[in-house]
Chain A
Amino acid sequence: MISFSQVTKRYPGGHEALSAVNLSIEQGELVFLIGHSGAGKSTLLKLIAAIERPTSGMVTVSGQNVGRLSRLAVPYLRRNIGLVFQDHKLLFDRSVIDNVMLPLDIAGFDRREALKRARAVIDKVGLLMREKANPVSLSGGEQQRLCIARALVSRPALLLADEPTGNLDAGYAADIMAMFRDFHRVGTTLVIATHDDRAISALGGRTLRLDHGRIEEVAA
């Protein structure tokens, strides 16, 4: 589903975040990216979602050469990818339910259908009681769950999560990882960047270690 071939990413200023990375991820896989901060985990995820473009090499997602995608085509790629951010990127000028409905609005869903879907996914992450609340009033763990709900509402085949438990205490982190395990079971491809070793041992799955822009497989 995802393949990297000799991918190098150098940022303006000369910092090389990824060096000649080769990588292949199959549909339905659960993959953890580990490594110290600045190792290139976020860059790798950004290349998959076409938020950044490779300096050289080729990134393909579902057969599309993502690095060469035109500006007009990028939105349609992103509609098939759920993104979970460490800083949540929620909009605080609207309610919980409206945050979750944003991807459906963008995709042009009928409002009633969108409401139904949004309610279902908010229920799944356990926030149905707070659907009218402003995200500001939610705890860190609840905000992260809301971000996950928004990423999942359009039923993407691929979910990318960048440090989803980074700011959370152990209890919340376990909740979230359990949620990811459920999505993995229904066939969603997940790529999760984390430094939370407990989570990895709990979920199993494949683990890739990034170190100074180079990637290596970690034996289970």
Chain B
Amino acid sequence: MGWLRHQKHALTAALGRLRAQPVSTLLTALAMGVAISLPAVLYLGLGNLGQVAGNLPAQPEISLFLDTRAADAQRAAIAARLKQPDIAEARFVPRDEALAALSASQGLSDISAGLTQNPLPDAWVVRPQATSRESLTWVADELGKLPGVAETHLDSLWADRLQAALAIGRAGVWLLASLFAIALIAISGNAIRAQVLARRDEILVSRLIGATDHYIRRPFLYLGALQGLLGGLAAIGVLAIAGGILRAPVERLAALYGSTFHLLPPTPIEIAAVLALTAAFGWLGAWLSVTRALQQVEATR
């Protein structure tokens, strides 16, 4: 009971102290909010980019080029193989159609115009069911061994590159988030240090009449956690404003690409995680600050 009473007492005291200094509370919350919003914006941006990448035909395709001398029986066998269930989709591209497509491509029509005969082979464009890199390579190898197939080309490189770039981005988010977490601890620690200095007398007197370190620390820890929570709310406010400003131009750009892409807001779980983390780091900053101050008070008694 005594424990619970102490917690309630400390929380009330912390809320009172926040209310007593609305301007500095607000400024600290803003500083924290801006600091957290930077990695948060990057995180959300990457999430949205990932969504774009997912909407593109990112499923890798295998191009199957046939030998120009392949026999009809071999062609029929290949067509039959491509009807099996491990192939999601297979489309036959006759060599005449391929040449027509080449001629229609801007900048390449000059090349095709100079050709006296069609150098292109017949081809299949195949999309396997499996999407992992290993199974794709395995399917491509297997198809390449079929009689009558001259060459296979696994067309997944660009998707791999995009994924690799996104992976760097995600690592960057964590790096940035770690740096700003340290900044958060520093901001909180500094704000609490000012509070501790302002309450030096109270700390000294409390220790003289039997207060434990826990008792003295507790209101400051609540103060740090609440301040961090306010910082988290400020960060979410910054995100909401940024989202509001960006939504229209992003959707206009997406429309120009014929996409129905919409900006994804953070999920409730992500919002809760941001608030929990900011509160935790605020608490940690306060702990460091008060513990240091307690040692100093003891030393300069």
B210-A91 in contact (CB<8A): no
A206 to chain B, nearest CB (A): 26
Binds B, one of A14-22, A76-84, A138-146, A191-199: A76-84
Residue pair A75, B207 in contact (C-beta under 8 Å) = yes
Interface string of B197-241 (1 = CB under 8 A from A): 000011011111111110100000000000000000000000000
A91 contacts across to B, CB distance below 8 A: 201-202, 205
Binary contact readout A58-88 vs B (1 if CB under 8 angstroms, 0 otherwise):
0000000000000110011111000100000
Main secondary structure of the interface of B (DSSP, over half): helix
Tell me which residues across on chain A come within 8 A of B81, comparing CB atoms. Answer: none
> How far is the CB of A12 from the nearest CB of chain B, in Å?
11
Chain A neighbourhood of B213, CB < 8 A = 71-72
Mark out the residues of chain A between 92 and 120 whose CB falls within 8 Å of any chain B CB in the assembled complex: 93, 102-103, 105-108, 110-111
Q: Are B208 and A78 in contact (CB under 8 A)?
A: yes
* Residues in A whose Cβ lies below 8 Å from that of B211: 75, 106
- With A89-B205, A91-B201, A91-B202 known as contacts, the answer to whether A107 contacts B210 (CB < 8 A) is yes
* Minimum CB–CB distance for A46 against chain B, Å: 9
**Cβ of B208 and Cβ of A83 under 8 Å apart?**
yes
- Interface presence of A150 (CB below 8 A): yes
Which partner residue on chain A sits nearest B6 by CB separation? A108
Q: Please, how many residues of chain A have a CB less than 8 angstroms from a CB on the other chain?
A: 25
Flag whether A178 is at the interface (Cβ < 8 A).
no
A77 to B209: give the CA distance in the assembly, Å.
Answer: 9
Q: Are B5 and A108 in contact (CB under 8 A)?
A: yes
> Could you tell me how many residues of chain B have their Cβ less than 8 Å away from some Cβ of chain A?
21
Residue A51 CB within 8 A of the other chain: yes
B202 touches A72 (CB 8 A): no
CA distance A76 to B3 in the complex (A): 16
Q: Judge whether A76 and B210 touch: CB under 8 Å.
A: yes
Could you jot down 28 A-B contacts, CB within 8 Å?
A51-B208, A51-B301, A71-B213, A71-B298, A75-B211, A75-B215, A76-B210, A78-B209, A78-B210, A79-B209, A83-B208, A83-B209, A89-B205, A89-B208, A91-B205, A93-B202, A102-B205, A102-B209, A106-B206, A106-B210, A106-B215, A107-B210, A108-B2, A108-B5, A108-B6, A110-B5, A111-B5, A154-B210
Apart from A75-B215, A106-B206, A150-B209, 14 more pairs, CB < 8 Å = A49-B208, A51-B301, A72-B213, A75-B207, A75-B212, A78-B209, A79-B209, A89-B201, A90-B205, A103-B209, A106-B210, A108-B2, A108-B6, A111-B5
